[in-house]
A and B are shown apart, each in its own frame.
Chain A
Amino acid sequence: MIMAKRIDVSGLSAYYGTTKAIEDISMSIEPRSVTAFIGPSGCGKSTFLRTLNRMHEVIPGARVEGKVLLDDENLYASNVDPVAVRRSVGMVFQRPNPFPTMSIYDNVVAGLKLAGVRKKAVLDDVVERSLKGANLWKEVHTRLNKPGAGLSGGQQQRLCIARAIAVEPQVLLMDEPCSALDPISTLAIEDLIGELKSQFTIVIVTHNMQQAARVSDRTAFFNLSGVGQPGKLIELDDTQRIFSNPSVQATEDYISGRFG
């Protein structure tokens, strides 16, 4: 039903105004797998993630050079509509951000409703499926008409995941989705990521290396050579290899806690 897609990035640099945030990144992200981005603060992980669904350019003065291929389509070709890109590449943010004016139900179907889907039967179905997919159905199915902002932080984040998967994207980007959550909610979301990877291509940015080791199949390590320097991709490999026997010294230093 949902066709997870692979992503091929080549020669990608991103700028904020005249500041270069990331430089010359090339990598492949496999479909139906979880790829984790790790690295010290300011190394451009989040910026790179945001270039994958053209959210980077939402910030005034931000721009991108290079290519991002979703299967074989270049997201940065001149005739590509960023709105359409974001429908295929969904995103979950660091802090839970449900729409405050909407109920739980309306939050889940916001993407569909705003795209013009009106049929109640279809929407009801999507709400149940997405909330079940986000492991939230049992907790909220009796109060779907209550405001989404009334849920706990962990529930709100799962609501945001439900909202993101309700539009059936092919790729799901997660920008530190657990950094504002307690260990129990974090566990719930990590379990969820494990389930979702059978359908989606998932990319997750995390500061928590245990988390990267737990949830991801492949791990990319980013680093920057100094303050004010652009971030770079150091290496990308199977998670197991990265955490046991990385090929670059900097990766090993970072993972073993010698810096960062």
Chain B
Amino acid sequence: MTAATTSVTADARPISRKLTANRLPKWAPAAIAVGSIAVGCGIGAVGGLESHLQWGLISAVLFLLGSYLVSAQVEGRRQAKDRFATSVVWVAFILAVVPLVSLTFYTVQQGISVVNGNFLSHSMRGVIQSGPGGGIYHALIGTLQQVGLATLMAAPLGLLTAVYLVEYGRGKLAKAVTFFVDVMTGIPSIVAGLFILSLWNLALGFSYSGFSGSLALAILMIPVVVRSTEEMLKLVPNELREASYALGVPKWKTILRIVLPTAIGGITTGVMLAVARITGETAPVMMLVFGADAINTNPFEGPQQSLPMYIWQQYSMVNNDFGYARAWGAALVLIAFVMGLNLIARGIARWRSPKGGH
């Protein structure tokens, strides 16, 4: 045994058998980060760079180089590569989070002054657009109704399609369905809007309404629901289906009572994410719902308003400080609404997911 080991290492580079090596202290990465930020800011200030983004990027590059070089000096090359990879992950994480945090922060900062009880409970009817006052009540109702109707149509359709694909689909039909779902995922929202406009409004002669907007939103939502539900159903172990069949339970009941409950957490999350996605859609709503300043609680007749469209109108058509303020307020409400949906989805997913004892 020993003879074999030595013969392997004899002609190659000798492998160190030492188990101890120099290690950087725990606070080293933080120190390198602080150091590189200081140097990065220094370079930025001295070089007279206007954008703070450039300061940050210089610091990031310095941090990556610094952690590799310092580690290579003290700990050796293998450890240095490990440190470098860890640093890349950290830098990427921060680069991804910075826009998100700054967007949320800026929206709250700009919008919070407008959002109050009056703003949430009044429409724009009789409000001079270029002046102060008014609110988003009509847009809030419109968004809730349009998204609600779209979800009522898209969620069952998407769910059933996914059940077909995972539990029943074989052969050409299933392949075709999968293909068309994939194609639908890539449809730009404006095309979905144009499709409903030409079919529902022009060919069939219906007028602008919240419902015609929700038809387009449903088209955008279905593929997302199908895809996420499909993935969740595939995660349900086949052993559970077999256990159920072996008890003499028919297939449809197995799907309804065993497979779907096991996957319900993930399915709910998927549906909620799809809802969050269509809530922010502007283009099809603009074409099909038309927009209104007054409250219209009937989604099946007459133009309605919706939050994204309200933001766009206040920003581009009013085009003064009062309009900007209302747009930021509406944006804040929209973000809060979507975030709330996500939190609810996570809550449901945690509450309904299969529980182990561990």
Contacts and interface: CB of A to CB of B under 8 A. Distances in A.
Interface of A: 53, 55, 58, 60, 83-88, 90-91, 93, 95, 97, 99-101, 110-111, 114-115, 146-147, 149-151, 160, 163-164, 167
Contacts of B352: 101
A150 B358 contact: yes
A111 B247 contact: yes
Interface in B168-211: 170
Interface stretch (B78-86, B93-101, B250-258): B250-258
Given A93-B239, A110-B249, A149-B356, 12 more contacts: A55-B242, A58-B241, A90-B246, A99-B243, A100-B262, A111-B248, A111-B249, A114-B249, A114-B253, A114-B257, A115-B248, A147-B355
Contacts of B257: 114
A111 B247 CA distance: 5
Given A93-B243, A101-B261, A146 B248 contact: no
Given A149-B356, A150-B356, A151-B357, A99 B247 contact: no
A55 B356 contact: no
B22 to A, nearest CB: 45
B30 interface: no
B354 A55 contact: no
23 contacts: A53-B246, A83-B245, A83-B250, A86-B246, A86-B247, A90-B246, A93-B239, A93-B246, A97-B242, A100-B240, A100-B356, A101-B352, A101-B355, A110-B249, A114-B244, A115-B248, A115-B249, A146-B357, A147-B354, A147-B356, A149-B355, A160-B243, A164-B246
Nearest to B246: A91
Of B247, B253, B257, B356, most A-chain CB atoms within 10 Å: B247
Contact of B354 (A110, A115, A149): A149
A58 B354 contact: no
Contact of A110 (B237, B244, B250): B244
Contacts of A83: 245, 248-250
Nearest to A60: B170
